[in-house]
Structure 1
Amino acid sequence: MDIFLQGLTMGLAYLAPIGAQNLFVINTALTAPLSTALATAGIVTFFDISLALACFWGIGLIIGSSLLLQKAILCGGGLILIYIGWQLLRAKVNTQTSATYAPTLWQTVSLGFTVTWFNPQAVIDGTLMLGAFRSSLPDGSATCFIGGVAIASMLWFFGLVGVFKTCCSKLQPVHMLWINRLCGLVILGYALKLLLVFWQM
Structure 2
Amino acid sequence: MNIFLQGLTMGFAIEAPIGLANLFVINNALTQSRKRSYVAAFFVAFFDIALSVACFFGIGAIMKRFEWLKLAILLFGSLIVVYMGTNLFRAETTEIGSKDTELTMFKTISTAFVMIWFNPQAIIDGSLMLGAFQVTLPVSGYSIFISGVALASLTWFIGLNLVIAKFKDKFNARVLRIINMVCGAVIILYGLKLFYNFVILLIH
Q: Give the aligned residue type for 1:51.
A: L
User: Cα offset for 1:102?
Assistant: 2.7
Per-residue deviation, residues 96-141 of structure 1 (Å, max 9, x unmatched): x856433211111111111100011211111111111110113411
Residue type of the alignment partner of 2:43: I
For 2:57, what is the secondary structure of its paired residue?
helix
Answer yes or no: is the 8 Å Cα contact 2:7–2:145 preserved in 1. Answer: yes
When normalised by structure 2's length, the TM-score is 0.62
Q: Which residue of 2 aligns with 1:117?
A: 117
**Structure 1 counterpart of 2:132, one-letter code:** A
Alignment of 1:59-70 (within 5 A): none
How far the C-alpha of 1:157 sits from its partner, in A, is 0.6
**Residue 56 in structure 1 maps to residue 21 in structure 2:** no
Residues 27/142 of structure 1: CA separation in 2 closer, same or farther (3 Å cut)? same
**Would the aligned equivalents of 1:60 and 1:132 in 2 still touch at CA under 8 Å?**
no
User: What are the residue-to-residue correspondences of 1:18-167 with 2, within 5 Å?
Assistant: 18-58=18-58, 98=89, 100=93, 101-167=101-167
| CA deviation after TM superposition for structure 1 residue 60, in Å | 9.9
Q: Is the 8 A contact 1:60 1:135 kept in 2?
A: no
Aligned positions, number:
136
Contact 1:29 1:164 in 2 (8 A): yes
2:193 match:
none
Query: Residue 189 of structure 1 corresponds to which residue in structure 2?
Result: none
Superposed CA RMSD: 2.3
Distance 1:156 1:2 in 2: 20
**Structure 1: gaps of 5 or more residues:** 63-96, 171-201
Question: What is the identity, as a one-letter code, of the residue corresponding to 1:50?
Answer: A
Contact 2:38 2:161 in 1 (8 A): yes
The answer as to whether partners of 1:4 and 1:145 remain within 8 angstroms in 2 is yes
CA drift of 1:59 comes to 5.6
Task: State the alpha-carbon separation in 2 of the partners of residues 137 and 59 from structure 1.
Answer: 18
Output the amino acid matched with 2:49. Answer: I
Identity of aligned residues (%): 54
| Segment drifting more, 8-17 vs 132-141 | 132-141
For the pair 1:9 / 2:3, whether they are aligned, the reply is no
Q: Which residue matches 1:88?
A: none
Give the Cα–Cα distance (whole angstroms) in 2 for the partners of residues 25 and 123 of structure 1.
19
User: Take 2:2 and 2:167, find their aligned partners in 1: how far apart are those partners?
Assistant: 32
Q: Which amino acid aligns with 1:111?
A: T
CA distance in structure 1 between the aligned counterparts of 2:102 and 2:115, rounded to whole angstroms: 17
One-letter identity of the residue aligned with 2:123: V
Superposed CA offset, 1:59-93 (max 9, x none): 6999xxxxxxxxxxxxxxxxxxxxxxxxxxxxxxx
- Per-residue deviation at 1:57? 1.8
Q: How far apart, CA to CA, are the structure 2 residues paired with 1:24 and 1:118?
A: 14
Distance in 2 (CA, whole Å) between partners of 1:152 and 1:112 is: 18
